[in-house]
Structures are given as structure tokens and as C-alpha cells.
Amino acid sequence: MLSDSLSQSLIVLNQNLKNCLIKQVFSYPHYLVLALHQGRKRYLYLSRGKSAAAILLDNEKLERITRHDDKYVHVFRSFLKGLFVKQITIDENLGMIALVCEKGQCRSVLHLFYKSEGVYFLLSSGLADSSKYLASWHGNLEEFSTSKGAETAAQAAIMELNKISGKCQKLSIEMSNLSYGQMWDKLLARQTVRKEKKIVLKKDKIKNDIADLRGAIEKMEEALRDNMEFGEIYECLGHRVKFPRQITEWKKREMVFNKLKALKRGKAIQEKRFDAIESHEDNLKAVPIVRSWNPVWHVKAAKKESSVTETLGDDVIEVNSFKNTIVKIGKNENGNDFLLTSWSKSNDLWVHLHDYPSAHAVIRFGDSNREQLFDLLDDVARVLKRFAGLTHEKVSVIYTERRWVKPIKGNKGKVKLSKFHLYLPRK
């Protein structure tokens, strides 16, 4: 039986989900996400960690750069996209979520069940009413978990579910004997390499466009300077100006001059685009979050060495979490201003609570400690929340490189951000 609070939450969730169209399916290391549409867009987050969680949000909260596609997501997308959500069912005892989707005669059920080692997926079609297979599965799980060939209760559950569903088409299973750390590291590294290649191609194209525009601008300026006589059509490195009939030479020069101004505007726009892409490339290389972000079920050995000690000063607290890493937190406006304008370097990491007033924190990494970024953010967020009196609330943190943080003149301790990332602490 579900607890009263979970039963009520499930009723509300079903009311909001029913008959929502699945527009897109994508994945993050922590979540499988369904983009739903019914008058407005919503996002259903299904946990990929050790515990069952289904969260419906109005906005996409995670960064697009951390998305990845694997074989499971491709299968889910091909069978779920375009269907309507009919029901979501949660079984606390089994740690399972079942999402029933259909459109006309087409019916698919996405099962996610959670055991000690992670999450299992099973996508099937042609199943009967969800209450029937839940009842049968519940009754036979214990028997199957002790039978030969069933190494875990979750594998037994798959066997039982296949038996119940009869001739349903089993499309995809993610088993717990995978090495999650290695699997995600490879996937995310491949995604990062792909993104870097796209950036290089964009930069090359924009470079060529800027060079072409610069050459055309120089030639047009030279033609105007030398008082060149224009015919019916003036062409310069692929850029054409077609003149109307019976037009004076002065009007022709004016039209060429207007074309020259348009080319200069285009060159300025392309240069801005090039700077923005270079900035994005630097950001991608400077904070290699995509390469080092492990799923929530993957516990690092380094975490055992983590211990937080605080040293109190007049305006600044120093928090030592890992070797060769310095973390400083401002106690007041003077401390925040000191960290931002005097102590921090451009490649240090700046941290602040999201949507709450809080102290500013600056993380200075050692040689290889960026791999422990999220462990550090968990520790720093805990201290910032305690200072802000938010110890019992789930609060996201904003983090970015120091170079994207600018102080506001006349408001000590106040800043404006050019770029930033959001992170929800795991504890």
C-alpha cells in the first residue's frame, strides 16, 4: 500500500499527466526526461538513480550541454514519441514506476524499477491493464527471486513481467552488471568530442565569411575612392548591386555606399558570433563538467576522504574539503567584495545559492581536483545553506567561473553574471 502522502501526490500527478502528448524524450546522467505538451509544455523527470522519483516541472531545469543519447533513449524515443500519457503507477514495495502511454491501437508501457545497484528499464507493448500485472508481479516476485538463474530480484521481476505480458515485444533492458562509471564516462566523453568538432566547424565557416566580407569591403571602398564608373550591375566578390535604368552616377554611388555599410554591419555581426563561440569553447574546456559528471548511484572513493573544517576570520571563512583545494566564503558584504575583487583569479569557481540571498563562495582548484567538483559543491552548498538558515530545504546553487562575475559599482557585494550553471546538491 502507498503512504497517504504518496497516494495524494500520485493522484495529483495523474491529473496533470493524463492525455499529455509526449513531444520529446531525452536523457541526462541523473534523469530520463519526457517533454509533454497539453496547452503548455511540461517536463516529467524520471530518476536514473537508486530510488524511484517522478517529478513534473513547468521548466527544463538542467543544462542542455549535459544531455546525451544512448541506445535506450533512441528506443524509448521511437516508441513513446507521439503517444498520449494515460496513467503513471508507483509501487513502493518493488521500487517501481510504470508509465502507460497509448494512441489509438498503439500502446506502450515504460517500466523503471530501482534496486541497490541502479535502475532497470523495460519498454513493452500490448500489455493489459496495469493493475493486473502489478498484482501478479507482486505475488510472484518472492518465488522468482529464489529460483535458479535469477541473480537479483530485479532480474526475477523482468522474467515475471515477460510471463505476464505474454507476447509483448521486449525492446530494451538496462542490467545492473554494467560498470556505470565507465559507461557514462565514455558516453559523455564522446558527446563532448562531438560538440568540440561542431564548434571547430562553425569557427572555420565564420572565419571564411569574415575574410570574404573584409575583401569585398576593401574593394568597394577602393572603387568609391577612385570614382569608378558603374554599369548596369556592379559585382564584387559575390556581392551584387543592380541599378535601375536611367539613374544618375551619383545615385549609383549612393547605392554602392549603402551596400558597403550593410557589409560592414554583417562583418561586425559575424565577429560577435565568432567571439561568442570562442567563449563557449573556453568555457567547455575550462570546466569539464560533462567529462567528469558521474551518475548519482556512482560513489567515488575520494568522497570518503572528504571532511569539512571551518576557520573563522573577520570577513572570510576558509573551508578545506580536499587536498590542494582552497574554498573561501564571505561572511558579509566586505568579505564578498574582497573575494571577488582582490583574492579570486579568473579561472576560480564562484558559487552562490539560487533564488536566495547568501554568502559568496570561491573555489580554487589544485592540479586535478576538478574531478571532485560536485562533491565540493555539495559541501559548499551545505555551509551556504546553514549561513542562510535553509538547512532543511532543497536549494540549488549557481556556479560559474570568476571571469563571468562582475561587481556592480556602488553596491558592495552585489554582482551580475554573464554565464552560469545550476546544480542541485545531492544531500
Gyration radius of the chain over CA positions: 29
Alpha-carbon separation of residue 279 from 193, 203, 274, 418 (angstroms): 17, 11, 9, 11
- For residue 311, name the pLDDT band (cuts at 50, 70, 90): very low
Cell numbers 573544517 correspond to what residue? 309
Taking only the tens place, the pLDDT of each residue in 50-92 is 666 677 777 776 666 667 666 567 667 777 788 888 888 776 6
Give the pLDDT band (50/70/90) at residue 346: confident
Q: Where are the chain's structural domains? A: 4-178, 183-292, 301-423
Mean per-residue pLDDT, 313-337: 72
Opening angle at CA 110, ends 109 and 112, nearest 5: 140
Fill in the amino acid letter for 57. Answer: L
pLDDT of amino acid 303: 39
pLDDT of amino acid 269: 92
Contact 380, 327 (CB under 8 A): yes
> Which overall architecture, per CATH, does domain 4-178 show?
Roll (2.30)
Q: Which pLDDT band holds residue 415 (cuts at 50, 70, 90)?
A: confident
Helix, strand, or coil here: 391? coil
Q: Which of 278, 380, 268, 273 is CA-nearest to residue 321?
A: 380
pTM reported for the whole predicted model: 0.35
Residue with cell 513481467: 161
Higher pLDDT, 161 or 202: 202
Nearest to 424 by CA among 6, 25, 30, 13: 30
Q: Residue 120 corresponds to which cell in the numbers above?
A: 532497470
Question: Among residues 39, 18, 184, which one has the least CA distance to residue 100?
Answer: 18
Which residues have C-beta within 8 Å of that of residue 306, sequence separation ≥ 6? 321, 322, 372, 375, 379
pLDDT at 192: 66
Secondary structure of residue 91 in the 3-state scheme: strand
What's the rounded Cα separation, in Å, for the pair 274 and 203? 6
Neighbouring C-beta atoms of residue 143, cutoff 10 Å: 11
Residue 405 has pLDDT above 80, yes or no: yes
Single-letter code of the amino acid located at 272: K
For residue 413, what is the enclosing H or E element? none
What tens digit of pLDDT does each residue of 112-148 get? 766 555 566 666 655 444 444 444 444 444 443 444 4
pLDDT, tens digit (0-9, with 9 covering 90-100), for 232-288: 788 888 888 888 888 888 888 889 899 999 999 999 999 999 988 887 776 655 433
How large is the average pLDDT for residues 177-185? 41
**Distance of alpha carbon 123 from alpha carbon 246, whole angstroms:** 72
Q: Which is it for strands 31-37 and 21-27: parallel, antiparallel or unpaired?
A: antiparallel
Residue type at position 3: S
Higher pLDDT, 102 or 201: 201
Beta strands in 307-404 (DSSP E): 309-311, 316-320, 326-330, 349-353, 361-364, 397-401
Collect all residues with Cβ–Cβ distance below 8 Å to 186 and sequence separation of at least 6.
none
> Helix crossing, 153-165 with 130-145: angle to 10°?
140
Continuous H helices in 226-329: 249-286, 289-292
Interhelix angle 180-225/249-286, rounded to 10 degrees, is 160
**Residues near 93 by Cβ (< 8 Å), separated by ≥ 6?**
138
Q: Is the dihedral of CA 24, 25, 26, 29 positive or negative?
A: positive
pLDDT reading at 304 higher than 60:
no
* Position 404, amino acid: W
Sequential DSSP letters for 177-193: TS-HHHHHHHHHHHHHH
Read off the pLDDT of residues 26-53 as tens digits, 9 standing for 90 and up: 877 677 788 888 777 888 887 766 666 6
